[in-house]
């Protein structure tokens, strides 16, 4: 039985993570670290964990672990997470980090978008970007995995098969993404106040969302060339789910079936990517509460349009983190996730 811990246990992604881990036959939650005072039982913070998880929260250092975890997940926010992770790594605990702190190899790019000095440059080189469909081999041996952002996961999975063999122009990619409100976190704000965001859809941070450079990094890496990409996120009146509608120009004319076949081949052995047949189009509800990414392909004239759906809290966060844990620990990759 693998012993796991979570630092930042009050986040939505932590709740989702605990729910997944509670069903995981090989994992046991032994440690929950929070920034709050006192040692509240986690079920007083999340009443829905009553009779499921009876564990008192403690602090954020290795010394706070009631028993030593084999792996710790950090759901702390960016710029905070890198302050608490190093001691765990030093103590020989593997780490999966939900924040952006270890996602960028280029520390200046990180510092530009996250507005803070990187305080743990030392561990950057060993960090592996935790998108199994791209870096499975590296994740297998990683001590520190940077779990991808929700939008980047959804966008990258929709683009990888197209850029790998450069079927599309790399300088004109549009990702129009629609996300449920849980993506905005657990802090009440005007934007997430029910009467403000219910029954309404809006774009936000057009061209300036922090996930844009992450998408560009990931897709450029796969393309082995710098891509130009426009990313527009939208807040959609639903709890969870992301749909990315991706537009690109085909380099050469290709029939829709041919493009679909490229996707099917590319993802044939992937346990968590499903390519839809023919005219079927996915909806976010198809992947709700699952670790799947559902993809569909349309060709209209010279453009290919990709529909990519994930649950932002599962494949876009906690499910993928557990998938990474499984790979890091040599467990079956789908354990606890289907």
Q: Which of residues 134-173 bind a copy of itself (CB under 8 A)?
A: none
Give the dihedral sign, CA 235/236/238/241.
negative
Site for a copy of itself in 95-134 (CB under 8 A): none
What are the residues whose beta carbons fall under 8 Å from the beta carbon of 211, sequence distance 6 or more? 149, 150, 151, 152, 231, 233
Site for a copy of itself in 207-246 (CB under 8 A): 207, 228, 230, 232, 234, 236-241, 243, 245
Q: What are phi and psi of 29, to 5 degrees?
A: -80, 120
Q: In whole angstroms, how close is the CB of 75 to a copy of itself at the nearest point?
A: 15
Q: In whole angstroms, how close is the CB of 241 to a copy of itself at the nearest point?
A: 7
Instruction: Report the C-alpha gap between 31 and 161 in whole angstroms.
Output: 39
Strands 71-74 and 94-97: parallel
Catalytic residue among 150, 154, 293, 309: 150
Residue from 162, 181, 219, 317 that binds a copy of itself (CB under 8 A)?
181
For a copy of itself, the closer CB: 25 or 330:
25
**Are residues 41 and 53 in contact, defined by beta-carbon separation less than 8 angstroms?**
no
For a copy of itself, the closer CB: 109 or 174:
174
Q: Is there binding between residue 51 and a copy of itself (CB under 8 A)?
A: yes
How many alpha carbons fall within 13 Å on the CB side of residue 172? 11
Q: Is there binding between residue 174 and a copy of itself (CB under 8 A)?
A: yes
DSSP 110-144: HHHHH-S--S-GGGGGGEEE--HHHHHHHHHT-SE
**Are residues 101 and 214 in contact, defined by beta-carbon separation less than 8 angstroms?**
no
Window of 45-53, 55-63, 123-131, 217-225 that interacts with a copy of itself by CB under 8 A: 45-53
Q: In whole angstroms, how close is the CB of 62 to a copy of itself at the nearest point?
A: 29
Residue from 193, 224, 226, 265 that binds a copy of itself (CB under 8 A)?
193
Q: In whole angstroms, how close is the CB of 2 to a copy of itself at the nearest point?
A: 17
For a copy of itself, the closer CB: 143 or 239:
239
Which among 182, 162, 164, 165 has a CA at the least distance from the CA of 174?
162
Q: Is there binding between residue 83 and a copy of itself (CB under 8 A)?
A: no
Q: Is there binding between residue 56 and a copy of itself (CB under 8 A)?
A: no
- Is 154 catalytic? The answer is no
Tell me, rounded to whole angstroms, the distance of Cα 335 from its chain centroid: 18
> At 212, is the secondary structure helix, strand, or coil?
helix
Q: Is there binding between residue 12 and a copy of itself (CB under 8 A)?
A: yes
> At 215, is the secondary structure helix, strand, or coil?
helix
Length of the chain: 338
Fill in the per-residue mask, 264 to 303: x = in contact with a copy of itself (CB under 8 A), - = not in contact. Answer: -------xx-x-x---xxxxxxxxxxx-x-x---x-xx-x
Q: In whole angstroms, how close is the CB of 199 to a copy of itself at the nearest point?
A: 5
Strands 303-310 and 242-249: antiparallel
Judged by CB under 8 A, how many residues of this single chain contact a copy of itself? 71
Annotated catalytic residues are 150
């Amino acid at each position: 039985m693998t012993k796991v811990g979570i630092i930042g246990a009050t986040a939505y992604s932590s709740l989702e993570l605990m729910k997944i881990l509670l069903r995981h036959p090989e994992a046991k939650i032994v440690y929950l670290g929070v920034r709050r005072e006192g040692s509240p039982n986690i079920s007083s913070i999340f009443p829905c964990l009553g009779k499921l998880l009876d564990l008192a929260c403690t602090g954020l250092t290795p010394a706070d672990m009631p028993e030593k975890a084999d792996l710790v997940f950090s759901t702390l926010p960016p710029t905070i997470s890198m302050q608490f992770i190093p001691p765990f790594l030093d103590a020989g605990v593997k780490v999966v980090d939900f924040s952006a702190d270890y996602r960028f190899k280029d520390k200046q790019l990180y510092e530009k978008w996250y507005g803070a000095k990187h305080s743990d440059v030392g561990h950057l080189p060993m960090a592996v970007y935790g998108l199994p469909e791209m870096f499975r081999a590296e994740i297998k041996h990683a001590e520190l995995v940077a779990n991808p952002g929700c939008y980047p996961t959804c966008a990258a999975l929709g683009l990888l098969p197209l850029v790998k063999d450069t079927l599309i122009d790399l300088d004109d990619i549009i990702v129009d993404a629609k996300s449920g409100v849980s993506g905005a976190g657990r802090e009440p704000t005007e934007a997430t106040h029910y009467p403000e965001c219910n029954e309404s859809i809006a774009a936000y941070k057009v061209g300036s969302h922090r996930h844009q450079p992450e998408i560009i990094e990931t897709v450029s890496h796969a393309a082995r060339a710098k891509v130009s990409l426009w990313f527009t996120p939208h807040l959609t009146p639903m709890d969870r789910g992301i749909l990315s509608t991706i537009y690109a120009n085909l380099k050469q004319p290709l029939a829709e079936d041919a493009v679909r076949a490229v996707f099917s081949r590319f993802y044939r052995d992937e346990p968590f990517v499903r390519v839809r047949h023919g005219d079927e189009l996915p909806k976010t509800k198809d992947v709700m509460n699952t670790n799947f990414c559902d993809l569909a392909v349309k060709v209209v004239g010279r453009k290919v349009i990709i529909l990519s759906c994930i649950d932002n809290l599962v494949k876009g966060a906690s499910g993928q983190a557990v998938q990474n844990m499984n790979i890091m620990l040599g467990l079956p990759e789908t354990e606890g996730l289907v």
